[in-house]
């Protein structure tokens, strides 16, 4: 086996630092991303901004005692005010503010997810994560985990068809189309049978088809359709490198409103009555999230202890792992992986 090289710890990309309601108006929150701290503040008007924690005046940490004053962040040390663009707009003494700015991090808040652009070299965003139309979907159910891991490893699951049977117990997984790679995004579709259905084992499994959409290594979601019932879920997996091999993983799930869905089979009856449909929708959402959470947690044991094998010994049935890795190289400056990547078998 070839000597394996480590992946660089911080691929560039958009990473989730929380959900919108984690940052209420008037709040100041310190987060970690790519081994650094950043301070997020939400103004009274609702604008959200992320800045370096160190005040350019005399070095106080905004995250320890900083407050929001209308549309600005107020430093706890001398009361200087900073706008959402980082610019100093007032001193604490009513004197002319120095022409200085706190460094801001690019931020995008969409579909209730707060994303921050991270590039170890400080470059501007090289791609955007598209906004989704979520009007027909229920609010998220979500969870957050922290463990030893790397975003390239966790996101590789989207194309690792082989592990679906072994780790998750799915049956007959198969790719429905070729992997589509387009700049920083990647799209894969596959189908499988889940022997444990929505209502538990023994009550019939479900066949689902998956549309996996990946944008960089920190943001992906799967649109899962259960054709026989006419249900559609959207499951997000958001991997955030807070430190070197120190990962925060957020998951969020939503289900398409039943009245917007093309219900089939027994679900058709449910669609007839509005109160019943609401009740069943909540149940379906809860069960779907439980199944999703269970699937993700099944991966933990592997993720926490796995090593990056740059020259994997691949076999038929693996899925397009090497195509994924070649695509992922774009998020690094000098990837040792790129030298080691060999042709797909």
User: How far apart are alpha carbons 183 and 107 in whole angstroms?
Assistant: 20
5 near ligand FES, rule: CB under 6 A? no
| 75 touches ligand FES (CB under 6 A) | yes
- The stretch near ligand FES (CB under 6 A) out of 19-27, 72-80, 117-125, 327-335 is 72-80
219-223 CB contacts, 8 Å cutoff, 24+ apart: 219/13, 219/14, 219/15, 219/16, 219/113, 219/115, 219/129, 220/155, 220/158, 221/132, 222/158
Smallest distance, ligand FES to C-beta of residue 56, A: 8
Query: Which of Fe ion, ligand FES, none does residue 78 bind to, with CB < 5 to 8 Å depending on kind?
Result: ligand FES
Residue with smaller CB distance to ligand FES, 24 or 59:
59
**If DSSP states are collapsed to H, E and C, what string results for 189-255?**
EEEEEECCECCECCCCCEEEEEEEEEECCCEEEEEEEECCCCEEEEEEEEEEEEECCEEEEEEEEEE
- The answer to whether 98 contacts ligand FES (rule: CB under 6 A) is no
Run of H or E residues at 81: strand 81-82
Q: How far is the CB of 58 from ligand FES (least distance, A)?
A: 4
Q: Does 193 bind ligand FES (CB under 6 A)?
A: no
For the CB of residue 237, give the shortest distance to Fe ion in the complex, in Å.
Answer: 9
Q: Select from 77-85, 93-101, 175-183, 195-203 the region that touches ligand FES (CB under 6 A).
A: 77-85
> How many other β-carbons are positioned within 10 Å of the β-carbon of residue 50?
24
Span 98-157, contacts to Fe ion by CB under 5 A: 157
Q: Which stretch binds ligand FES (CB under 6 A): 43-51, 71-79, 173-181, 238-246?
A: 71-79
Instruction: Choose between 78 and 193: whose C-beta lies nearer to ligand FES.
Output: 78
Segment near ligand FES (CB under 6 A), from 50-58, 155-163, 207-215, 303-311?
Answer: 50-58
Tokens 């042709």 appear where?
343
Q: Sign of the CA dihedral 217, 328, 106, 65?
A: positive
For binding to ligand FES (CB under 6 A), which residues are involved?
55, 57-60, 75, 77-78, 80
């Amino acid at each position: 086996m070839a000597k394996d090289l480590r992946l660089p710890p911080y691929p560039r990309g958009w990473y989730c630092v929380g959900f919108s309601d984690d940052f209420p108006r008037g709040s100041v929150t310190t987060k970690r991303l790519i081994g650094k701290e950043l301070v997020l503040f939400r103004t009274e008007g609702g604008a959200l901004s992320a800045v370096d924690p160190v005040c350019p005046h005399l070095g106080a940490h905004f995250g320890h005692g900083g407050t929001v004053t209308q549309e600005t962040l107020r430093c706890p040390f001398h009361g200087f005010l900073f706008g959402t663009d980082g610019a100093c707009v007032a001193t604490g003494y009513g004197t002319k503010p120095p022409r200085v700015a706190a460094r801001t991090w690019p931020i995008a808040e969409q579909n209730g997810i707060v994303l921050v652009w991270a590039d170890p070299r400080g470059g501007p965003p090289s791609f955007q994560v598209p906004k989704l139309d979520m009007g027909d979907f229920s609010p998220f159910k979500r969870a957050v985990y922290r463990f030893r891991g790397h975003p390239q490893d966790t996101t590789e699951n989207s194309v690792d068809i082989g592990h679906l049977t072994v780790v998750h117990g799915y049956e007959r997984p198969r790719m429905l189309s070729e992997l589509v790679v387009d700049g920083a995004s990647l799209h894969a579709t596959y189908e499988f049978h889940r022997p444990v259905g929505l209502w538990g084992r023994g009550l019939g499994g479900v066949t689902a088809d998956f549309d996996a959409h990946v944008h960089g290594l920190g943001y992906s979601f799967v649109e899962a359709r259960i054709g026989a019932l006419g249900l559609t879920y959207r499951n997000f997996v958001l991997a955030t490198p807070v430190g070197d091999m120190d990962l925060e993983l957020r998951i969020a799930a939503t289900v398409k409103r039943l009245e917007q869905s093309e219900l089939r089979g027994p679900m058709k009856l449910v669609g007839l009555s509005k109160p019943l449909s609401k009740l069943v929708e909540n149940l379906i959402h809860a069960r779907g999230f439980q199944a999703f959470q269970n699937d993700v947690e099944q991966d933990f044991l592997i993720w926490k202890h796995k090593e990056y094998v740059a020259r994997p010994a691949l076999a038929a049935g693996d899925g397009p792992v090497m195509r994924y890795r070649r695509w992922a190289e774009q998020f690094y400056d000098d990837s040792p992986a790129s030298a080691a990547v060999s042709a797909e078998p």
